[in-house]
Amino acid sequence: MTDQGTTESGKADPEPDPAAGVPEWNPPTRMRAEVADRPRHKVDLKALFGLASGGWAWTTAAKAAIAMGTSFTVAALLFGPPAGALAALGSMTVLYEKNTPYAYRAVALAVVGLGFVASVAVGSLASLNPWAAAVAIGAVAGIATWLCQALRADKPGPLFFVMVCAISTIAPGGIAAVPLHAGVAALGAAVGWAVSMAGAPVRSRHPENRALADAFRKLAELLRAVGTPDLDHVQHEASLAVAEAWRLVLLGQTRGYRDTAQAARMRALLRWVSDIHLAATDVSLARRTPLPEEAAAFADDLAVAVGKPERCPDPARLDPLRKGLRPRSLESRLYSRLSRTAQAARKPTHADESRGLELYDQRRPSLGDALRSSLSRDSLVRPTALRMGISVAVAGLLALALGFDRFYWVSISATSVLQAGNVVLTVNRSAQRALGTLIGVVLGAGILMLHPPLAAVIVCAALFQGLTQLVVARNFFYASILMTPMALLTASIAAPYPVEALAESRVVDTVLGAVVGMAGALLLWRRASASRLPQVIIEVLDRTRASVLAVLDPDTRLTPERRYVLRRDLRAALISLRAVYDSAIGDVPRADTTQPLWPVVVATQRAGYLALSTLALEDPPTASQITLQRLDLAFTELMAAMRERRTPRLGALPRLVDYPRINMELRVLSSSMRTAVAEDERAAALEQERRAQREQRRAREEADADL
């Protein structure tokens, strides 16, 4: 092993980089990027009423309004107004799988439509007994939550399955009308399917292009975040975007298309965006000062070039950035990746099927594996689905016990607030739902008091639904204001009711549903994420170990397929780690024990990303078998210490001259774990002291009472 700054040690991996001539691996040794502030979930005015970052969902809003208006009108004309309300809800298939390729979306939306039909059938069959109906709605909520999360269905998740089931419990007709209700729901689902698929004839590859473009934009944000305190957060968002691009491009590789030159270009750009992400990761973790703005602007222009090759940026724009850089520096390597990506993106097709353009994965993941994995002991899907099903069922039963006529609204409200995730977010969402409903009821009741004709009701309901989808991603409070009039108008058509009583019951039912949803989040599996976090850290360390050892082992050749599998699994584990931590810090009361783990999470993530970077090398520097054994023991000790929540007894790490920053992050990880354990011990000591003081006070009070 030789010093990295003086000796060539490897070339660019042809798997992510089919072209040759890329600068070599040369990481600096004594630089560590500043750790970002840990994420925080709060219940405050900004969380309740502030707008989240991002754009407005104009396309989704337009599709939702068109689908609801069309299905409502057609079903009302064919089967009557009550059936129109049910069809309008069935058309909300348009809100699912909004970003997936059209070939996959066609099948997925058909399955969603069948789920709506099944939910309507269950609700109609249970409508004869309100108590059975409440339990049925809860069962639909739990099963829909399980399937949506296990199969990675886009939002809005189980909400509309619950809504169509709930509305079908009050639709007139009884058991005899079950086929009619199911057929009406199928009609609405078909309309939603058609609206969602309307872009396929003219923009057949738009979803994949958009996913790749979004990945380039997130990489531009990552380049701007270099040397800033927000680096770790932006790194995670960039990883999410790159992983989503991989998923959607894989889904779009249909038979007959994957052998075309256009598909080859898509795969080449996918490899490039992944490769640039790893190069940017190397730079971001080793550099303490910002990069020139031109690098990020270049990545933004590459996002435009994904769908419009004629607007590809000129690689010569990066030449001024390379002046004064060593040829093997990390920055030079990054700029080289950006330049070569521009050369590939400027061509509308890609004829080179050389090594590196293959995708070593199935187009669709195994359905059985996904369902089995979601039911495993370590999965968060199972407790989430159980929490949803039990809470929604209890909400309906409690409403019936209290004499509420429209118990199903309580169930719908509980479903809505429980979709937030952890306890803190559920409290925020409950407050937003209750306050938004108070305002929305005034709007809806005002419209109903005007006794509008059916056509006006349909137009208003469609308009409010579109506006709801426009703002729901930015703030749920404003979405609740707009959603409530739509629900009132739809419910008044499905089952006519006096306006004043309808508005009053809507407010009371929503508040009760929000309270039950909060209670469910507080009482049922509230520690699931916090309890899962240490195991997720261990999984990331295990995959990092496997990747590093595979690269360093001189006796084993790392095949392209094996390299791909290691990168895929490690990136998925890294994304899962951050998602679990974000959820765990909102768990109450375990958030106090989760917060000290933030430096551990950051060090684990950085070690994982550095391992990903080593997998981007062909003929990387190897190590001796003794070094491999010592490194394996170091990872094993770190994992055991995390499992047992104790201070790691790491000792001296093997000296990895060619990968010094991996050593650095492992040392930081050991130190962070030691600090977290110390804080746990202090917290336990304080809790024991408080418990002893309480016991002393209780004993003193009992003694005083005896006197």
* Nearest of 89, 155, 81, 170 to residue 124 by alpha carbon: 170
Low-confidence ranges of the chain (pLDDT < 50): 1-27, 355-356
Angle between helices 102-125 and 178-196 (to 10 degrees): 160
| pLDDT given at position 707 | 55
Contact 75, 184 (CB under 8 A): yes
Residue 158 in 3-state DSSP?
coil
Burial class of residue 14, CB neighbours in 10 A (0-12, 13-18, 19+)? middle
pLDDT in tens, 494-538: 766 677 777 888 888 889 999 999 899 888 888 888 888 899 999
> Contact, 4 vs 25, CB < 8 A?
yes
H-type helices in 252-353, by residue range?
261-286, 293-307, 319-322, 330-345
Compute the C-alpha angle 691/696/699, nearest 5°. Answer: 125
Cβ atoms of residues 340 and 257 within 8 Å: no
CA angle 638, 640, 643 (to 5 degrees): 110
Q: What tokens appear for 573 in the block?
A: 């584990």
Q: In the chain, what are the domain boundaries? A: 55-201+379-523, 206-346, 531-698
**pLDDT value of residue 109:** 94
At residue 237, the pLDDT reads 93
The CA distance from 593 to 605, in Å, is: 19
Which helix (H) or strand (E) segment is 12 a member of?
Answer: strand 11-12
d(CA 554, CA 279): 24
Task: Enumerate the β-bridge partners of residue 617.
Answer: 12
Q: Would you say 638 and 650 are in contact if contact means Cβ atoms under 8 Å apart?
A: yes
Give the span between the Cα atoms of 94 and 8, in whole angstroms.
54
Residue 90, token pair as written in the block: 């069935």
Asked if residue 445 lies in contact with residue 501, where contact means CB atoms within 8 angstroms, the answer is: no
Q: How many CB atoms lie within 10 A of CB 79?
A: 17
Half-sphere exposure of 703 (CA within 13 A, CB side): 6
Which of 82, 117, 122 shows the shortest CA–CA distance to 187? 117
3-state secondary structure 465-492: HHHHHHHCCCCHHHHHHHHHHHHHHHHH
How far apart are the C-alpha atoms of 671 and 118, rounded to whole Å? 54
Please give the DSSP secondary-structure letter assigned to residue 170: T
- What pLDDT shows up at residue 18? 37
Strand partners, 205: none
DSSP 394-452: HHHHHHHHTT-TTHHHHHHHHHHHHTT-SHHHHHHHHHHHHHHHHHHHHHHHHHHHT--
Instruction: At 147, list the tokens.
Output: 């399937």
Which DSSP string do the residues of 28-64 spell out, in sequence order? -SS--PPPPPPP----SHHHHHPPPSS---HHHHHHH
DSSP 656: -
pLDDT, tens digit, 9 for 90 and up, residues 106-130: 999 999 999 999 999 898 888 888 9
Tokens for 194, please give them.
């058609």
Question: What is the Cα–Cα distance from 542 to 539, expressed in whole angstroms?
Answer: 5
Predicted TM-score (pTM) of the model is: 0.85
Helix (H, G, I), strand (E, B) or coil at 347: coil
- Are the CB atoms for 427 and 518 separated by under 8 Å? yes
